[in-house]
Amino acid sequence: MKILKTTQSLQETLGSIQGLVGFVPTMGALHQGHLSLIQKSLEENPVLVVSIFVNPTQFDNPLDLEKYPRSLSNDLSLIKQIAPDALVFTPSVSEIYGNTVDAKEYAFEGLDRVMEGASRKGHFQGVATVVEQLLNLVKPDSAYFGEKDFQQLQIIKKMVAQRKYTTTIVGCPIKREPDGLAMSSRNQRLSSEQRLQAPLIFQALQEAKSLFQSQNTAAAHRHVEALFAAQSQLNLDYFSICSEENLMENQLDKPEKVRGFIAAQLGEIRLIDNLKF
């Protein structure tokens, strides 16, 4: 495994290697979800680049950025166990942004205005900025993203199409804990009491799916709202049933492309999840 801290060392190393390049961008605090992306990349490409970079421009809340879990040495040993030949890019903020730590402006045809985009101002502009910069540096054949951040995945696909990048964006299934909680770096911050409440999110999505299929959207909404109202710790930010293609709630005409999404606040921690309906 090679750890590369500068764009120059990354590009020199990539320049001396042959073969398809798979790329897994992360913000560290790796879990089985990230490792499944690495595994998928290894199955499809001889060369693997993993980036570990906590991107400041995608946080609208300075406290959230400060408290984002960081565990570089553990991350490196997890990567080494499954990908001993990986190139791990761990740039500093100035290596990525120079002196101006700002997001660029993108227009994503409304994909960035709903759900996470409505609740977290500027979040997707920050995500797109860093992903575009990383794609320009790594120039991967394929890049791998988890479906837990389904909206992010759709926005990155849109950005890649708009900019005509040749990288294939691959979405990978959500990894879950045995009780259904979607794996997330943020789960580490949950207290043991909060951790017991968190699986309600996936339970709500499953029950909403069955009501959506047997009855309708309104029945699914009523049920999710009642489930969250019946307890005091998890605050529902949104429950949305949308088209996977354009993330619009009123365009559910392709039943095979409908998905339910939940965001909820548990103390200081924001959790999101989604399920194909």
Q: Which residues are catalytic?
A: 34
Of the candidate spans 25-33, 64-72, 240-248, 255-263, the one that interacts with ligand PAF by CB under 6 A turns out to be: 25-33
Residue 225 near residue 217, CB atoms below 8 Å: no
Q: Which two three-digit tokens encode residue 38?
A: 């690495």
When binding is defined by CB under 6 A, the residue of 37, 79, 131, 269 that contacts ligand PAF is 131
- Closest separation in Å from C-beta 55 to ligand PAF: 4
- Closest separation in Å from C-beta 37 to ligand PAF: 10
- The CA distances from residue 61 to 50, 68, 121, 152, in Å, are 26, 11, 9, 18
Q: Does 26 bind ligand PAF (CB under 6 A)?
A: yes
| Secondary structure element (H or E) that encloses residue 52, with its range | strand 47-52
Of the candidate spans 23-31, 36-44, 68-76, 269-277, the one that interacts with ligand PAF by CB under 6 A turns out to be: 23-31
Nearer to ligand PAF, 70 or 222 (CB): 70
The size of the interface with ligand PAF (CB under 6 A), counted in residues, is: 10
Nearer to ligand PAF, 149 or 200 (CB): 149
- Closest separation in Å from C-beta 260 to ligand PAF: 20
DSSP three-state, residue 137:
helix
- The CA distances from residue 39 to 13, 25, 50, 140, 154, in Å, are 22, 13, 11, 16, 22
Q: What residues between 141 and 160 interact with ligand PAF by CB under 6 A?
A: 149, 152
- Closest separation in Å from C-beta 149 to ligand PAF: 5
Cβ-in-10-Å burial (0-12, 13-18, 19+) of 239 comes to buried
- Closest separation in Å from C-beta 53 to ligand PAF: 7
DSSP three-state, residue 148:
helix
Q: What residues between 33 and 92 interact with ligand PAF by CB under 6 A?
A: 55, 58
Residues 35, 38: Cα–Cα separation, whole Å: 5
DSSP three-state, residue 74:
helix
Residues contacting residue 196 through CB under 8 Å, at least 6 positions apart: none
Q: Does 127 bind ligand PAF (CB under 6 A)?
A: yes
Nearer to ligand PAF, 143 or 200 (CB): 143
Binding site for ligand PAF (CB under 6 A): 25-27, 55, 58, 127, 130-131, 149, 152
